[in-house]
Amino acid sequence: MVVEDHHVVRQGLKALLSVVDGMEVIGEAADGVEAITNFRKLQPQITLIDLRLPRLSGVEVIERIRMETPSARFIVLTTYDGDEDIYRALQAGARAYLLKGMTSEELIATIRTVHAGKSHIPAIIAEKLAERMGTEELTHRELDVLEQIVRGMSNKEIATELEISEATVKTHINSLLGKLGVTDRTQAATAAIQRGIVTLESLKKK
């Protein structure tokens, strides 16, 4: 099954795979909710899925489906290579993580690898994952503060929004700057977006 919100990309993947020996595209979906509905109905052996989808993210789809069907096999196919994106997808249970610039040969080989019960993580993705594993986790409260920084809010505004003191906000900011390896708020906001720690979609939801 192919889960991709861009129609042309989805149709291109279907056309590519339809002529490969031993492969058949039995379903498609343009958003996260449709992906879950169609998976339940069709039970595909392999699901190609983008990370950024309307209604539910790719990670949420993987998590929900694998709660019902632990054997479900997912290959993430995305333009996003932030280390947090990679980490979340693999934590959710994706068997492979490919960037959309890959060759058709690599895609087909990866599908066969995952179908055989193995995983496939390209070297460049493995490097970013290793970097992510070597960094300290942000706490939930630090993530909340970081989201507000990305929104462009001042310490005073963050304190009001999260119902904490300005002194507590400063403490959280100093801590998250150290964990992100940056020196100021602007760098923190940039790192948060580049690494996929904060997504524009998550900001819209709140």
Judged against a pLDDT cut of 70, whether residue 206 lies above it is answered with no
Q: Which phi and psi (to 5°) does residue 3 adopt?
A: -115, 110
What pLDDT, in 10s, does the model give residues 109-164?
A: 999 999 999 988 877 777 767 666 556 778 889 989 999 998 889 999 999 999 99
pLDDT of residue 34: 97
Whether residue 125 is found in the same domain as residue 147: no
Whether residue 129 is found in the same domain as residue 145: no
HEC string of 126-191 equals HHHHHHHHCCCCCCHHHHHHHHHHHCCCCHHHHHHHHCCCHHHHHHHHHHHHHHHCCCCHHHHHHH
Q: Give the span between the Cα atoms of 65 and 39, in whole angstroms.
A: 8
Kindly state the average pLDDT of the residues 176-191: 87
Cβ(145)–Cβ(138) below 8 Å: no
Whether residue 111 is found in the same domain as residue 55: yes
Whether residue 112 is found in the same domain as residue 190: no
Cβ(3)–Cβ(28) below 8 Å: yes
Whether residue 145 is found in the same domain as residue 101: no
Q: Give the span between the Cα atoms of 49 and 94, in whole angstroms.
A: 9
Cβ(142)–Cβ(169) below 8 Å: no
Residue 108 neighbours by CB distance under 10 Å: 16
Which of 97-111, 136-150, 192-206 has the lowest average pLDDT? 192-206
Q: Give the span between the Cα atoms of 43 and 156, in whole angstroms.
A: 50
Residue located via tokens 């100093």: 174
Whether residue 30 is found in the same domain as residue 126: yes
Q: Which of 102, 133, 164 delimits the end of a domain? A: 133
pLDDT of residue 191: 84
Whether residue 156 is found in the same domain as residue 119: no
- The more confident residue out of 91 and 19 is 19
Q: Which of 97, 117, 133 delimits the end of a domain? A: 133
Residue 129 tokens read as 């994952």
What pLDDT, in 10s, does the model give residues 22-80?
A: 999 999 999 999 999 999 999 999 999 998 899 998 999 999 999 999 999 999 988 87
Whether residue 129 is found in the same domain as residue 37: yes
Cβ(128)–Cβ(83) below 8 Å: yes
Whether residue 150 is found in the same domain as residue 193: yes
Judged against a pLDDT cut of 80, whether residue 89 lies above it is answered with yes
Whether residue 80 is found in the same domain as residue 110: yes
Q: Give the span between the Cα atoms of 89 and 137, in whole angstroms.
A: 16
CATH number at residue 181: 1.10.10.10
pLDDT of residue 155: 93
pLDDT-based confidence at residue 81 (cuts at 50, 70, 90): low
Residue 169 tokens read as 């906000």
pTM, rounded to two decimals: 0.67
Whether residue 99 is found in the same domain as residue 153: no
Structural domain of residue 164, as residue ranges? 140-205
CATH number at residue 61: 3.40.50.2300
Q: Which of 76, 100, 133 delimits the end of a domain? A: 133
Whether residue 59 is found in the same domain as residue 32: yes
pLDDT of residue 135: 65
pLDDT of residue 134: 54
Q: How many domains does the chain have?
A: 2
The set of long-range contacts for 172-175, using a CB threshold of 8 Å and a minimum separation of 24, is: 172/141, 172/142, 172/145, 173/145, 173/149, 175/139, 175/142
pLDDT-based confidence at residue 196 (cuts at 50, 70, 90): confident
Kindly state the average pLDDT of the residues 84-101: 84
